[in-house]
Structure 1
């Protein structure tokens, strides 16, 4: 049975069971607006905040209220990696300068009364960015960045103490007199059971930026595991691999010195080490990338490889080993997102945002062979299921306020579930519970990862013939035929070498190889209703006779050879308003027929083109009002 996933709207939280049922197993509705909601990484808790309170739920379907804190205007909530601590950020009070707007709640305990729980630590932090403490993987260390140093406290799961005035370890730059006026701006703790810390200092006053990995040792930390100095770095993004022995740093400048990019310059660096806390040495390299911005970079779950999408569109997609060497690259393509499946067997590459939503699935164990393609247009959220056999895509507000929906796809590219919303704000999977807990309790026995429960909710391994498609997919296809056609157009056109019949042709090609019927459209199988077939020069037939017939005029200045049912052929200055309108409508009808043929051929259409097709009935009705009928074609 697949993992659960939850959907958040303005006032509702809906929890769904995964494949194959996709049935709703819990529905939490609030009187006031749900501001923020998040599922803990351990899978035990669901936390949400409203204007009046913060609530935490636990249980198989999040049916049990564990904690309810009556605090106002909580706009952000975060869990620690093992889920034992909940961090909340309230809007600072201007009326009370001493108001401590960040609170930490301890959840790994039996709570007799949900409304009588006090925070174990609180402090003041005005900004809503980087406000939360950082925790180690097992929640046994917590870190807080002060103005001149980084302080680390060691936590006990019985009575956690956040006394940063008496830290377990301190990391500062006081020992280096040359760096007195500089400080850490970014830091990230590794996700290993023996954690290390990576810190970043930006370039300043002609001194290079510095990236350093430190061990967590009691007292003042002075040992450096690995370090790298470089220029062109005003800020950075850090990503550890899952083993915690290598980190990628994307260095970013505010301005591009070559004036080629609005977003500045990007450079990617790799720092790694061997042994516990770098006992066998460290290494640092600059990753070779194509010129242009870095769109995405991510680690494989195996921690031995990482992938990067970089360069101007179409971008370069490449995969690297732990030494920064390229092991495989793909053809340049318009993609900006890369996601490894949790098992590492598959790799998703997609083009979202200002791209058209094309998605491709690669088999990592079969020489990066493409196993599926599908279109997920207008996607704002994309993520693998915890089992790695399904993919969730969603269109959420306020990124897009129309066509809000969640869709679940199988790794074969088949759509298996759809649910539409008037306004969908957030979606997320619920991970299987990875810590050992007491029977019928949320309290963890010990802070170690339970490898048995880690695979308890893996998705079933199915091929296309074994897939069960939820009834919501057929209902969605009936209500939105064009979107359903676009979903499968990528697979439908896969392997087709010939151009579709309705493909675009430049004007000179149309003149050179145009058909005899001037009003027929390339690739169309029938003539547009209401458009007379007029011979054109170079077509088969007696061109001279046609020319003479066009020149012969009757006293009322109309063509003697024109049919009674054809479109009036008088010039624009002589045509009546009804004739002008009819010609305009027939032109629009011809354009609609062209788009319909492209749709049949499997071409990808824009939203405006789909909307134009939907106006066909109105165009025909307007033509009939003017006296035209389909028999006139």
Structure 2
């Protein structure tokens, strides 16, 4: 069965089938025009989007319209876990009078009936604007000053208080409260039975920050229950909660805006593990200092992975005791995701990194494939755990917008170029991706892929040899370079001038000048950028330097009058050199193809330089640029050692020293290869 995905662009919203039957989804009429955002419910049953007239909610499988909410000012939406309720946020408007009721701009709707369950005032749109739900949708909660308020969705409409200000919206009474001073964030465990609630209090005025875990059942009857587990720590201004799938443990990623001593640009970060039974908590010990880039739980909830450290970063697997189980080779990566089945792990480098992605088999801990997805700003596994979606979105990048779907063997199985694409996502499907089944079967072979623009549809490497990707098309060897002015010559003439040395061609400018001497007046074109007069002027400068003459004055060659009155030498002047020594004897060649009384000119000695391959010259230029940056980093290190305080941008530059060294090494190797092929 094909999985489903949707994407939003300047043209509207498009619902499509993913592999293996990629294409337009049947039964969906794609809305056109300005679509502000879209969202699937967590169970994948419903799809909603904000259009010009308001919110439309449809059945995600059939496309049938379930509910319309007509309100042109709605800007954000959010589903409950099962899609039974939907939250909307609209821009806050001041009351018409000073004593008027506040505008209730955050509304919770019941999708089936269209009734407004509750409404609240939320003046500022923040990342945590939405209410948070228990998995069974019985309660939802929101954070206010000093407490978390829980609301019961089973309260009938008649028991709710009238809430004027938003078309008769109602505000259900608070079912119970969980009080905790200075709390700034919280998260409910994703389980239906007796869920726990983790609450974060940031560091403030020298007091340490903390995370506390409470039982929701205990909080129903007591607003100040004893915590099940708690952990205090410093250097924690904000926190992110990562619950495991069964709700028995939570990882807390703490961060500060500025690092201690300005040692890096990302601020200080730390990772803590807390179990809900209160029997174990610990700080996760990582290999070295540096930012924590990504954290993710295995679907079986018995393992988690962390990517951390300065580039090249380290990715490590940990057990529930926070003991390292396996460390992957260091590489430039900042993205980490287990597949929904848990059989595969994708470790990638996006954002300011090159876009390389490694697929690893978790069972054997062997690499399956490495692929290159440059300029990717979004990545997500398909619900069946077979494909990874990468996309380039606006406004992060306004060029090359579109998406690619990769099989885990590194084969591109679907691709679309989309003009101004803003958002993309898979339709969730909890019935797919069972981790219990995935570990009992072998990895499938690589499917047939679509051809990429560069002729490659397969992975760069294959670690286990069982899923070989489609081979890339053979690259036609590059021919020898011939300047535009010489491309209409006959093959033998061009070969003499610009042929490779092993093919008998004369190297560089020496062969060019000898060829011009032999063929002067023969009707051939002058090579662009090469002037006979320029060569004569060079000879004049050499002769003047040898005889002590200045730049000005009527210098005349020994063998005759200067050429066309510009001081250029004829035969005698051309034979002189900087040491005033006669040139070695050589066979004279007739000028203009005649043996009359024209001057006999011997061939010019070969100059000290040769024509370089343009690619080699470009590589040398890049190497000089990177070496200049390394010199600046060396100077910054000296300043730091002397005790000078550096700016954040300077510290960020110092952190890139390893990348610059690798770049110099790569450019040098490539330049040597180009030079050997050119010679």
TM-score normalised per structure 2? 0.66
Q: Matched residue of 1:332: which SS?
A: coil
Bigger radius of gyration among the two: 2
CA-CA distance at 1:384 after TM superposition = 0.7
Between the aligned partners of 1:546 and 1:36, the Cα distance in structure 2 is 63
Paired residue for 2:373, among 361, 376, 384? 376
Paired residue for 1:418, among 401, 407, 415? 415
Aligned pairs for 1:483-494 (under 5 A) are 484-485=455-456, 488=458, 490-491=460-461
Paired residue for 1:591, among 615, 619, 623? 615
Q: Matched residue of 2:260: which SS?
A: coil
Work out whether 1:169 is the aligned partner of 2:176: yes
Between the aligned partners of 1:124 and 1:152, the Cα distance in structure 2 is 16
Aligned pairs for 1:6-21 (under 5 A) are 6-21=6-21
Between the aligned partners of 2:38 and 2:512, the Cα distance in structure 1 is 75
Paired residue for 2:105, among 97, 101, 108? 101
Superposed CA deviations along residues 40-74 of structure 1, whole A, max 9, x for unmatched, are 11111111112321111115222x11111111221
Aligned pairs for 1:440-455 (under 5 A) are none
CA-CA distance at 1:134 after TM superposition = 0.5
Superposed CA deviations along residues 296-348 of structure 1, whole A, max 9, x for unmatched, are 11111111111111111111111111121111101110001001001111000
Q: After alignment, is 157-166 or 323-332 more displaced?
A: 157-166
Between the aligned partners of 2:432 and 2:155, the Cα distance in structure 1 is 21
Aligned pairs for 1:161-200 (under 5 A) are 166-173=173-180, 182-193=181-192, 194-200=194-200
Aligned pairs for 1:299-318 (under 5 A) are 299-318=297-316
Match of 1:320 in 2: 318
Does the 8 Å CA contact 1:227/1:284 hold for their aligned counterparts?
no
Match of 2:290 in 1: 292
Match of 1:232 in 2: 235
Between the aligned partners of 1:305 and 1:92, the Cα distance in structure 2 is 43
Aligned pairs for 1:372-521 (under 5 A) are 372-432=369-429, 467-469=447-449, 473-474=450-451, 477=452, 481-482=453-454, 484-485=455-456, 488=458, 490-491=460-461
Between the aligned partners of 2:533 and 2:27, the Cα distance in structure 1 is 68
Q: Matched residue of 2:288: which SS?
A: coil
Paired residue for 1:150, among 131, 134, 148? 148
CA-CA distance at 1:574 after TM superposition = 2.2
Match of 2:260 in 1: 257
Between the aligned partners of 1:314 and 1:370, the Cα distance in structure 2 is 18
Match of 2:225 in 1: 222
CA-CA distance at 1:245 after TM superposition = 1.1
Does the 8 Å CA contact 1:242/1:303 hold for their aligned counterparts?
yes
CA-CA distance at 1:203 after TM superposition = 0.7
Match of 2:481 in 1: 528
Between the aligned partners of 2:358 and 2:502, the Cα distance in structure 1 is 47
CA-CA distance at 1:239 after TM superposition = 0.9
Does the 8 Å CA contact 2:135/2:190 hold for their aligned counterparts?
yes
Between the aligned partners of 2:299 and 2:529, the Cα distance in structure 1 is 69
- Seen in structure 2, the aligned counterparts of structure 1 residues 273 and 118 have a Cα distance that, compared at 3 Å, is closer
Q: After alignment, is 397-406 or 305-314 more displaced?
A: 397-406
CA-CA distance at 1:75 after TM superposition = 1.4
- Seen in structure 2, the aligned counterparts of structure 1 residues 128 and 161 have a Cα distance that, compared at 3 Å, is farther
Does the 8 Å CA contact 2:35/2:50 hold for their aligned counterparts?
yes
Between the aligned partners of 1:35 and 1:60, the Cα distance in structure 2 is 22
CA-CA distance at 1:524 after TM superposition = 7.5
Q: Matched residue of 1:490: which SS?
A: coil
- Seen in structure 2, the aligned counterparts of structure 1 residues 314 and 26 have a Cα distance that, compared at 3 Å, is farther
CA-CA distance at 1:106 after TM superposition = 0.9
Superposed CA deviations along residues 249-304 of structure 1, whole A, max 9, x for unmatched, are 11111211121212211111111134xxx5xx343334334211111111111111
Between the aligned partners of 1:389 and 1:568, the Cα distance in structure 2 is 56
Between the aligned partners of 1:398 and 1:242, the Cα distance in structure 2 is 33
Work out whether 1:348 is the aligned partner of 2:301: no
Q: Matched residue of 2:286: which SS?
A: coil
Between the aligned partners of 2:115 and 2:479, the Cα distance in structure 1 is 75
- Seen in structure 2, the aligned counterparts of structure 1 residues 552 and 146 have a Cα distance that, compared at 3 Å, is closer
CA-CA distance at 1:17 after TM superposition = 2.2
CA-CA distance at 1:466 after TM superposition = 6.7
Does the 8 Å CA contact 2:305/2:316 hold for their aligned counterparts?
yes
Between the aligned partners of 2:69 and 2:513, the Cα distance in structure 1 is 90
CA-CA distance at 1:468 after TM superposition = 4.5
What's the Cα RMSD here?
4.1
The number of equivalent residue pairs is: 503
- Seen in structure 2, the aligned counterparts of structure 1 residues 593 and 413 have a Cα distance that, compared at 3 Å, is farther
Q: Matched residue of 2:461: which SS?
A: helix
Superposed CA deviations along residues 538-570 of structure 1, whole A, max 9, x for unmatched, are x999xxx9999799999xxx7669996895785
Between the aligned partners of 1:168 and 1:572, the Cα distance in structure 2 is 95
Match of 1:510 in 2: none
Between the aligned partners of 2:315 and 2:208, the Cα distance in structure 1 is 29
- Seen in structure 2, the aligned counterparts of structure 1 residues 549 and 292 have a Cα distance that, compared at 3 Å, is closer
CA-CA distance at 1:465 after TM superposition = 5.2
Does the 8 Å CA contact 1:316/1:331 hold for their aligned counterparts?
yes
Does the 8 Å CA contact 1:87/1:104 hold for their aligned counterparts?
yes
Match of 2:548 in 1: none
Between the aligned partners of 2:345 and 2:203, the Cα distance in structure 1 is 35
Match of 1:53 in 2: 54
Between the aligned partners of 2:351 and 2:510, the Cα distance in structure 1 is 56
Q: Matched residue of 2:314: which SS?
A: strand
Q: After alignment, is 66-75 or 348-357 more displaced?
A: 66-75
- Seen in structure 2, the aligned counterparts of structure 1 residues 227 and 467 have a Cα distance that, compared at 3 Å, is same
Does the 8 Å CA contact 1:225/1:282 hold for their aligned counterparts?
no
Does the 8 Å CA contact 1:200/1:212 hold for their aligned counterparts?
yes
Between the aligned partners of 1:410 and 1:454, the Cα distance in structure 2 is 15
Does the 8 Å CA contact 2:382/2:426 hold for their aligned counterparts?
yes
- Seen in structure 2, the aligned counterparts of structure 1 residues 540 and 206 have a Cα distance that, compared at 3 Å, is same
Match of 1:33 in 2: 34
Match of 2:534 in 1: 574
TM-score normalised per structure 1? 0.70
Does the 8 Å CA contact 1:214/1:221 hold for their aligned counterparts?
no
Q: Matched residue of 1:418: which SS?
A: strand
Superposed CA deviations along residues 222-244 of structure 1, whole A, max 9, x for unmatched, are 21111111111111111111111
Greater relative CO, 1 or 2 (CA 8 Å, sep 6+):
1
Aligned pairs for 1:278-289 (under 5 A) are 281-289=279-287
Match of 1:581 in 2: none
Between the aligned partners of 2:341 and 2:248, the Cα distance in structure 1 is 19
Between the aligned partners of 1:551 and 1:156, the Cα distance in structure 2 is 91
